[in-house]
């Protein structure tokens, strides 16, 4: 494969890297088994194993939970997204060009859920610095597999989650959980002390909060009842 620019809405040859907070919200780099399209300069890990251009990730085996920020240029983008749909386990970050043939073929039809991010991301440069301008287009996280769709739904990232496969499964599962179970599951996936604001945002569209204008008070009550620990004002963790 020849060198291709990564996720970048402008027609340049720059490599733009995924903001670390996106990876962290989805479980962190250690929760992903493979990044098959790692740029040649990547200041922070995105997965436990990574293929760069020199490895040619399209010719190598894909395994486990995959993180994909695919090359932007065609035909590499189309080939990577087709491979992601075939692998059907992991998350891809792409532009929300929902009307295109590629989006229908590799996202609308095979994906399990989407998280349309609010606003436009500011990607990072190979140096690690944040780009001077935003990406130039809205972005969407695409989940492949029901477990990944659930991760997106409760990631806490600011945006709108849209289930594509078995939406009633997600709704019924979420409603059957107690508030304590739901908060515990989210905090364990979060993997670090969480701010109340993050919990409020994560549960704002949760089925248990539907029609419940006092859901924020319910979350505070659950935290106070345990097994949670107050780390600082407005910051909580799961007690050991």
- Residues 117-159 have pLDDT tens digits of 998 887 877 766 665 555 568 999 999 988 898 889 888 898 9
pLDDT tens track for 199-222: 887 777 677 777 788 999 999 999
User: Is a pLDDT exceeding 70 seen at residue 7?
Assistant: no
Residue position matching structure tokens 């996936």? 189
Q: What percent of the chain has pLDDT over 70?
A: 83
Average pLDDT of the chain is 83
Residue position matching structure tokens 């991301």? 121
Whether 3 maps to a domain, the answer reads no
User: Is a pLDDT exceeding 60 seen at residue 11?
Assistant: no
Residues 154 and 217 in one domain: no
Give pLDDT, residue 10: 43
Give pLDDT, residue 13: 42
- Sequence-ordered strand ranges (E) for the chain: 34-35, 49-50, 66-68, 90-95, 113-117, 139-144, 159-163, 194-195, 228-232, 235-238
Residue position matching structure tokens 């996106």? 22
Residues 133 and 193 in one domain: no
User: Is a pLDDT exceeding 70 seen at residue 9?
Assistant: no
* Per-residue tokens: 81: 């997204």
Give pLDDT, residue 185: 82
What's this model's pTM, rounded to 2 decimal places? 0.68
User: Is a pLDDT exceeding 70 seen at residue 107?
Assistant: yes
Mean pLDDT for 158-165 is 85
Whether 172 maps to a domain, the answer reads no
Query: Structurally, how many domains does the chain consist of?
Result: 2
Tell me if residue 116 falls in helix, strand or coil: strand
Which residue range is the domain that position 203 belongs to?
Answer: 177-238
- Residue 69 pLDDT grade (very low, low, confident, very high; cuts 50, 70, 90): very high
Domain end position, chosen among 141, 166, 191: 166
């Amino acid at each position: 494969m020849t060198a291709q620019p990564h996720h970048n809405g402008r027609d340049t040859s720059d490599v733009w890297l995924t903001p670390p907070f996106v990876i962290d919200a989805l479980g962190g780099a250690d929760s992903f088994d493979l990044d098959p399209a790692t740029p040649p300069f990547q200041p922070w890990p995105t997965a436990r194993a990574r293929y760069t251009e020199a490895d040619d990730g399209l010719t190598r085996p894909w395994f486990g939970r995959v993180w994909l920020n695919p090359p932007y240029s065609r035909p590499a983008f189309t080939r990577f997204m087709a491979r992601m749909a075939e692998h059907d386990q992991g998350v891809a970050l792409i532009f929300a060009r929902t009307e295109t043939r590629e989006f229908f073929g590799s996202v609308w039809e095979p994906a399990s859920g989407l998280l349309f991010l609010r606003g436009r991301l500011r990607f990072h440069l190979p140096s690690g610095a944040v780009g001077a301008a935003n990406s130039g287009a809205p972005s969407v996280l695409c989940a492949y597999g029901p477990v990944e769709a659930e991760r997106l739904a409760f990631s806490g990232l600011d945006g709108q989650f849209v289930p594509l496969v078995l939406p009633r499964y997600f709704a019924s599962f979420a409603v059957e959980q107690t508030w304590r179970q739901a908060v515990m599951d989210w905090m364990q996936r979060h993997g670090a002390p969480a701010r109340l604001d993050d919990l409020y945002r994560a549960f704002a569209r949760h089925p248990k909060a539907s029609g419940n204008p006092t859901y924020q008070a319910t979350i505070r009550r659950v935290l106070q009842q345990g097994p949670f620990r107050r780390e600082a004002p407005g910051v909580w963790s799961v007690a050991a």
